[in-house]
Amino acid sequence: MARATVIRKNAAELRVAPNLRDLDAERAAFSWDAARRELQGLPGGGLNIAHEAVDRHASGPRAAHVALRWLAASGGVRAISYAELAGAVNRFANLLRGLGVAKGDAVFVLCGRIPELYAAVLGALKCGAVVAPLFSAFGPQPLKTRVNLGRGKVLVTTASLYERRVKKVAGEMPTLEHVLQVDGADFRRMFDSSPAEFEIEKTVPEDPSFLHFTSGTTGMPKGAVHVHGAVVAHHATGKYALDLHPEDVFWCTADPGWITGTSYGIVAPLAHGVTSIVDEAEFDAERWYRILQDERVTVWYTAPTAIRLLMKAGAGIARQFRFPQLRFVASVGEPLNPEAVWWGKEVLGLPIHDNWWQTETGGIMIANTPAMDVKPGSMGKPLPGIEACIVHRKNSGIEIVGNDDVEGELALRAGWPSMFRGYLGEEARYRKCFADGLYLTGDLARRDADGYYWFVGRADDVIKSAGHLIGPFEVESVLMEHPAVAEAGVIGKPDPVVGEIVKAFVSLKAGFVPAEELKMQLLAHARKRLGAAVAPKEIAFAAQLPRTRSGKIMRRLLKARELGLPEGDLSTLEGPT
């Protein structure tokens, strides 16, 4: 079937009048100061994310409104109102303060999607602590690296995650003073005896709030520091890009161990006072369709990998369900192929609306909003308050590309409230991200004549698997720990469902033979240390890995060879390979 290149929209035909009707007009009228005034602020001045997300609703007319509808993996459902959430958050905050957690201390959270996670994150924010959420599929090694980089004082986890992830490295995290197992009897006792009232720490917009780890090409993960003022952007983007309205039932499928799951699984929906669905279970096509149907989800925020998994599961399953309440679907994290946009229209009755952002941007920057015509394959247009452009890096600085349809690096005018304020302990690396007042994203893109942005690729070697960024260096380091491994080079190998899978090339030390059994051992070693989300899925042996003369493994070349692509400029290659 021939498909149009544009899906036309008519704002008047949308079931709910969109918050953003006319992008150009709203952009012209927009100011971040005005956006801030839509929030309450702390009594007597200051700003705290948890106050905007919970307290202002709990003390107003939305106190009894459901904040979280938690769907247990075992099948139970728990509805938690804003008032109840406020009580749990305050108990957690008191408990943390009682343990000596003060403003600026780092609280790490390694939990599955359970109600305690929400109380822990928001409670820590109320204490003025810096919250570092971690993905529960991280193995002991990524966990230890991050806690040590972030100088974690408290780790909030569960008994089973403690056993599987923490125990092995518990003695190797010297800054940790407390490990709380939220399903343990000791914790319960402390929690229940903590008061449900709490005097919030008087944070200001520039005080740190979250620490989110992200991966680069070289070195260990980078800790992107965010501030309380970011809530202004979360609220504004929740309004514009997700079109949240007070009676919405919103479901963000991302895990809060990643920034999408905190910015849009916790902060934005709560800041809007809407009901959020939290599903404890992992992806399952039938379960997900059932949730959309039975929970009467109105706005859904998910990821391309999930959409492709639903497509793969087949239309037969989808046809068993109905989604009359669903009115807006958005996706983020990886390129959304046009077929997926159209699949949405055919199966859900709505196109999927792609949007773009990064850990560093803290919130959605470029989006397809409800009233906008959608060009399948495009990420959309910059939101109000966001200035984007395409640039070329030159020896003497950068040059803004004036023409349409020219590929270059995507850049954003610095200064929006959710912009990261630093890479923890790496001032020079942070400064390198900026030039001439622009934040350089490291993504390649182009802009068309209508102002739509199109993703082209990443400018670096970082891997995107199922929407999660994976640093090749972290994986290579763990492989190198194995006694058989001489050198390791890790790349992202294109995959039709998850975007890329992690593939490792390994050369062996003298005395080791490249055999299937050793391959299995290496895969198991990596999985145990790194966890399933980060470990390689494939390993190939090579007699030697291509290196530059300065000794760096040329991942670009490994990838080109894997894909049968031209090998490009090999002038820096060392010796014969």
In this chain, which residue has its C-beta nearest to ligand PRX?
A: 359
Options 230-238, 330-338, 389-397, 558-566: segment touching ligand PRX (CB under 6 A)? 330-338
Residues numbered 273 to 312 that lie near ligand PRX (CB under 6 A) are: none
Locus of tokens 């015509």 = 373
Binding residues among 190-229 for ligand PRX as defined by CB under 6 A: 214
Three-state SS annotation for 223-267: EEEEECCHHHHHHHHHHHCCCCCCCCEEEECCCCCCHHHHHHHHH
Could you tell me the smallest distance in angstroms from the CB atom of residue 407 to ligand PRX?
Answer: 14
Q: Which is nearer to ligand PRX, 305 or 358 (CB)?
A: 358
CB of 573: closest distance to ligand PRX in angstroms? 27
Regarding 465 and contact with ligand PRX (CB under 6 A), the answer is no
Residues in CB range of 565: below 8 A, 6 or more apart: 559
Contact at 8 Å (CB) between 7 and 354?
no
Cβ 469 to ligand PRX shortest distance, Å:
4
Site for ligand PRX (CB under 6 A): which residue of 333, 344, 408, 472?
333
Residue 429 lies near ligand PRX (rule: CB under 6 A): no
CB closer to ligand PRX out of 145 and 359:
359
Q: Rank residues 268 and 379 by Cβ distance to ligand PRX and give the closer one.
A: 379
Name the token pair of 525.
Answer: 């070693």
CA distance 72 to 23: 39
Report, in Å, the least distance between residue 285 CB and ligand PRX: 22
Q: Select from 455, 484, 522, 525 the one that contacts ligand PRX (CB under 6 A).
A: 455
- By beta-carbon proximity to ligand PRX, the closer residue of 80 and 466 is 466
Cβ closer to ligand PRX: 127 or 440?
440
* Region 377-396 residues binding ligand PRX, contact defined as CB under 6 A: 379
Which CB atom, from 245 or from 464, has the smaller least distance to ligand PRX? 464
- What is the nearest approach in angstroms of ligand PRX to the Cβ of residue 101? 27
Which residue, 275 or 441, has its beta carbon nearer to ligand PRX? 441
Distance CA 243, CA 258 (A): 22
Report the relative pairing of strands 408-413 and 249-252 from DSSP bridges: unpaired
Q: Which is nearer to ligand PRX, 194 or 215 (CB)?
A: 215
CB 406 within 8 A of CB 413: no
- To ligand PRX, the closest distance from the beta carbon of 146 in angstroms equals 14
332 is a contact residue toward ligand PRX (CB under 6 A): yes
What is the residue type of 441? T
70/439 with CB nearer ligand PRX: 439
100: left (phi over 0), alpha (psi -120 to 50) or beta: left
CB 216 within 8 A of CB 224: no
Q: Are 99 and 154 in contact (CB under 8 A)?
A: yes
Nearest approach, Cβ of residue 541 and ligand PRX (Å) = 30
> Site map for ligand PRX, 346-365, x if CB under 6 A?
--------xxxxxx------
Q: How far is the CB of 224 from ligand PRX (least distance, A)?
A: 8
C-beta separation of 211 from 226 below 8 A: yes
Contact 337, 331 (CB under 8 A): no
Contact pick of 52, 255, 279, 334 for ligand PRX (by CB under 6 A)? 334
Which of 393, 458, 527, 537 is in the footprint of ligand PRX by CB under 6 A?
458
Looking at the Cβ atoms of 16 and 444, the one nearer to ligand PRX is 444
CB of 455 to ligand PRX, least distance (A): 4
* Residues whose CB is less than 8 angstroms from the CB of residue 430 and which lie 6 or more positions away in sequence, other chains included: 420, 422, 423
- Nearest residue (CB) to ligand PRX, 158 versus 263: 263
Q: Please state, in angstroms and rounded to a whole number, the distance separating the CA atoms of residues 509 and 482.
A: 10
Question: From the CB of 289, what's the least distance to ligand PRX, in Å?
Answer: 23
Strand order in the sheet with 422-423: 178-181, 152-157, 106-110, 130-133, 208-214, 222-227, 422-423
Nearer to ligand PRX by C-beta: 307 or 350?
Answer: 307
Q: Select the residue interacting with ligand PRX from 173, 180, 233, 259 (CB under 6 A).
A: 259
Q: How far is the CB of 470 from ligand PRX (least distance, A)?
A: 9
For residue 84, state whether it binds ligand PRX (rule: CB under 6 A). Answer: no
CB of 201 to ligand PRX, least distance (A): 27
Give yes or no for residue 469 binding ligand PRX (CB under 6 A): yes
Q: Residue 53: CB partners within 8 Å, gap ≥ 6?
A: 122, 231, 266, 267, 270, 271
Q: Total number of residues binding ligand PRX (CB under 6 A)?
A: 20
Which residues, 6 or more positions from 165, have their beta carbon under 8 angstroms from its beta carbon? 110, 136, 138, 139, 140, 143, 157, 531
Query: Is 335 among the residues that bind ligand PRX (CB under 6 A)?
Result: yes
Q: Closest distance between ligand PRX and the C-beta of residue 468, in Å?
A: 7
User: Which CB sits closer to ligand PRX, 82 or 213?
Assistant: 213
Of 253, 260, 276, 477, which one interacts with ligand PRX (CB under 6 A)?
A: 260
**What's the min distance (Å) between Cβ of 307 and ligand PRX?**
12
What does the alpha-carbon distance between residue 153 and residue 180 come to, in Å, rounded to a whole number? 11
Handedness of CA 543, 545, 546, 547 (dihedral sign): negative
Whether 331 contacts 254, CB under 8 Å: no
Nearest residue (CB) to ligand PRX, 469 versus 501? 469
Q: Is 174 within 8 Å of 196 (Cβ atoms)?
A: no
Question: Helix 285-294 and helix 304-313: axis angle, to 10°?
Answer: 100
Q: Are 331 and 352 in contact (CB under 8 A)?
A: yes
Residue 545 contacts residue 555 (beta carbons within 8 Å): no
Q: Kind and range of the H or E element at 550?
A: none
Query: Contact residues for ligand PRX (CB under 6 A)?
Result: 214, 259-260, 332-335, 354-359, 379, 441, 443, 455, 458, 464, 469
